[in-house]
Amino acid sequence: MAAAWQYVRQWPLRTALIAAIHTLAIYVLASVEYGPFANTLALFTWALLNFLFLALFRRPGVSAVLSLLLVTALIVLSQFKFGITQLTLTFLDFLIIDRDTISFLHSIFPQLRTHLLIAAAVALPILWLIWRADPFRLRRRSALACAGVCMVGIVGLSAANPEKPWEPFQGVNHISNLARSGVVSVSHLTATGWIEADSKSLVSSAQASPMTTCEPGVKRPNIVMVLDESSFDVSAAPGVKVPAGYHDYFKSADGQQRALITESSGGPTWYTEFNIFTGLSARSFGALKFYVTRIAAGKISRGLPQALQRCGYKTFSLYPTYGNFLSARSFQEGAGIDGFIDMAAMGVSEDMQPDRFYFDQARDLIARESKTDQPVFVLVYLTANHFPWTSIYRDDLTPAGWQAPGNTSEVDEYIRRQAMTAADYKAFVAQLQKDHPTEPFLLVRFGDHQPAIAQKLLEPELPQPKRADRIMTHDIRYYATYYAIDALNYRPELASALPVLDAAYLPLMVQEAARVPLDPSFVEQKKIMLRCKGVFYGCKGGDEASRFNRWLIDAGLIKDL
């Protein structure tokens, strides 16, 4: 202690400079962290970085500058990510860095490499000067011991106050959320690996081997699946007024209105995307489910596209943003998509187009492919009903005769966009009938998740903490959307079209509706569907999904997870 004070007296200006760096760092953290818990966790993280750099370089000045640069960079990256995905930076962003991640960053920030080079050119000389001028030294053993204390503090705080599902979507607490997500991710990987699966299967892999052929000479319908962005029957919320005929859009051709239970509440579309491609649950990935498409890319060889390919289908996906977003291209091609067409391939530079744009893309694709004898599967993503609903989107496309029902402006805008979707879908079906008067078509529409505004509409008097608890425990009121089955020149088989169906069963339902013979894995999953009455992951507290995952692993249909 006396030696340290002697250094301070001998080098007052240099001591003041190091103190100023730490003060600036505290100011930066305080500008993005809110609440005693977040601030304490962020300070522990700041201290941990300092002590780790001290263990490497022993110089407090250099360690403080490097820690400040790193923390600032992490905050900027987190804010940047939040602006795109509405989710702050997490530990998994660094654990799963692949070519698609770099490609996505470059596609939306083409000057990133230049800016990084400029930043390095400025920072390196400054670091060299501080290195030369820093008179202080700290023993590496002492630095590592202090780093250990900080790590214990981070783990203890994270365990005592687990992350709530809505916190990463707030756009604040960038450093504390990142640190806490590291504890959660490491804990999850240590306990279960990437995916939850029983330790031992009761079914031999031979029983699970997929069929390689379908019966020849059978005319199968073209299949169009429509991912209806953020759409559900908003009249489920008390007091919401809807126009006359509003419910008709959610009904199938048989007049029935069916509920789809998704795994996202006002959030990631790709959970449902994962469900409909693989027939599996994103919830099986636990705390890592946000990255499910990146984790699973190329590692799951069963699902809807593969099943359709075995029956001669050519499979397509009209993806409304860049294909390297969350490894979407790699995931979908690995899942059996023959033609992945992202927004760049569609010739647009903005990822929110009117729904009629995507329907026109699908119509043109079907027209091109109809020249062959192969049936076509195409997944069409819609985007017009994406948040926010605080401003009017494409007023010129409002259907004729539209009148606001008289809710808040945000809810009325949401319903207006649903009316736009309904009108565009009706026009699309009419055009298909005109262009292909004898060709059979199966059309399946579904909501990928509820809109973010639904959480407050469904139980407006409920305090936010209780609402968060219900979302955390997967209360189906916050996860229910719809699915509807239509057809042209074809009568679908609706035996598996249950009134309430988990999204993971949608591939099974589509195959049966198209009369595609089920392979053994889907035969087994149908047994689960029937005994669990349309519930998948939630059946027996996840035990059924875990057993099925092991079944697929033993069969070689899930690898390296």
Average pLDDT over residues 487-499: 95
Same domain, 237 and 131: no
Q: Name which of 121-135, 188-202, 451-465 the model is least confident about.
A: 121-135
Q: Prior bond to 388 cis, omega within 30?
A: yes
Contact 185, 287 (CB under 8 A): yes
Q: What is the largest CA-CA distance in the chain?
A: 93
Return mean pLDDT, the chain.
Answer: 85
Euclidean distance between CA atoms 485 and 317, whole angstroms: 19
* Separation of alpha carbons 97 and 77, rounded Å: 14
pLDDT bracket for residue 7 (50, 70, 90)? very low
CB 490 within 8 A of CB 497: no
For residue 312, being part of any structural domain is answered with: yes
- Is 256 inside a domain boundary? yes
Decide: 130 and 65 in contact? Cβ < 8 Å.
Answer: yes
Residue 12 has pLDDT above 80, yes or no: no
Q: Which residue, 452, 514, 446, is CA-closest to 482? A: 446
**Low-confidence winner among 40-49, 114-123, 180-189, 202-211 (lowest mean pLDDT):** 202-211
Domain annotation covers residue 418 = yes
Same domain, residue pair 168 and 241: no
Of 465, 448, 447, 467, nearest in space to 457 by CA: 467
Average pLDDT over residues 199-223: 69
**Same-domain pairing of 13 and 100:** yes
Residue 334 within a domain: yes
Residue type, 280: L
Q: Among 306, 370, 317, which residue's Cα sits nearest to residue 341?
A: 317
Tell me: the pLDDT tens digits for 296-337? 988 999 999 999 999 999 999 999 988 877 788 999 999 999
Do residues 281 and 144 share a domain?
Answer: no
Reference 276, options 226, 326, 239; nearest CA is 226
Secondary structure in 3-state letters for 10-79: HCHHHHHHHHHHHHHHHHHHHHHCCCHHHHHHHHHHHHHHHHHHHHHHCCHHHHHHHHHHHHHHHHHHHH
| Judgement on whether residues 176 and 311 belong to the same structural domain of the protein | no
The rounded distance, in Å, linking the Cα atoms of 123 and 111 is 18
The answer, yes or no, to whether residue 3 has pLDDT greater than 50, is: no
- Residue with structure tokens 């979507």? 169
Strands 483-488 and 441-447, bridge-based pairing: antiparallel
In the structure, how many helices (H) and strands (E) does the chain have? Answer: 21, 8
pLDDT in tens, 27-79: 888 888 888 888 888 888 888 888 888 887 777 777 778 888 888 888 887 78
Whether residue 200 is contained in a domain is answered as: no
Structure confidence at residue 416 as a pLDDT band (50, 70, 90): very high
Tens of pLDDT, residues 375-385: 999 999 999 99
pLDDT band of residue 86 (cuts 50, 70, 90) is low
The CB-based long-range contact list for 62-70 (8 Å cut-off, 24+ gap) reads 62/127, 62/130, 62/131, 62/134, 64/18, 64/21, 64/22, 64/25, 65/21, 65/126, 65/127, 65/130, 66/127, 67/25, 68/21, 68/24, 68/25, 68/28, 69/123
Query: Could you report the per-residue pLDDT of 160-172, keeping only the tens digit for each?
Result: 887 765 677 677 8
Query: Is residue 49 in a domain?
Result: yes
Judge if 185 and 261 occupy the same domain.
Answer: no
Tell me, yes or no, whether 244 and 179 share the same domain. Answer: no
pLDDT at 286 over 70: yes
Domain co-membership, 154 together with 238 = no
Q: How confident is the model at residue 4 (pLDDT cuts 50, 70, 90)?
A: very low
User: Of 84-93, 121-130, 145-154, 390-399, which one has max mean pLDDT?
Assistant: 390-399
Are residues 173 and 33 both part of a single domain?
A: yes
Read off the CATH number of the domain in which 397 is found: 3.40.720.10
Least confident of 154-163, 181-190, 420-429, 529-538: 181-190
Single residue among 192, 208, 240 that ends a domain in this structure: 192
| Segment 259-280 mean pLDDT | 93
Count of domains observed in the chain? 2
For residues 279 and 148, state if they share a domain: no
Higher pLDDT, 248 or 177: 248
Q: Is 439 helix (H, G, I), strand (E, B) or coil?
A: coil
Q: What is d(CA 48, CA 111) in angstroms, rounded to the nearest whole number?
A: 32
Same domain, 231 and 106: no
Centre a 10 Å sphere on the Cβ of residue 538 and count the other Cβ atoms it contains.
18
Structure confidence at residue 505 (pLDDT): 98
The whole-number average pLDDT for the span 440-455 is 95
Q: Does any domain span residue 204?
A: no
Question: Among 19-23, 101-105, 272-276, 539-543, which range has the highest average pLDDT?
Answer: 272-276
| Cα–Cα separations (whole angstroms), residue 526 to 236, 279, 530 | 29, 11, 6
Q: Which of the listed residues 192, 208, 229 is the one where a domain comes to its end? A: 192
- Residues 275, 340 share a domain: yes
Q: Has residue 387 been placed in a domain?
A: yes
Write down which residue in 144, 175, 192 finishes a domain.
Answer: 192
Q: Please list the helix, strand and coil fractions of the chain in percent, rounded to the nearest 5, in that order.
A: 55, 10, 35
Residue 263: pLDDT band with limits 50, 70, 90: very high
- Token pair 């660094």 in the structure block, residue: 94
Residue 350 domain boundaries = 221-554
Residue 206 is predicted with a pLDDT of: 47
Which among 303, 271, 268 has a CA at the least distance from the CA of 502? 271
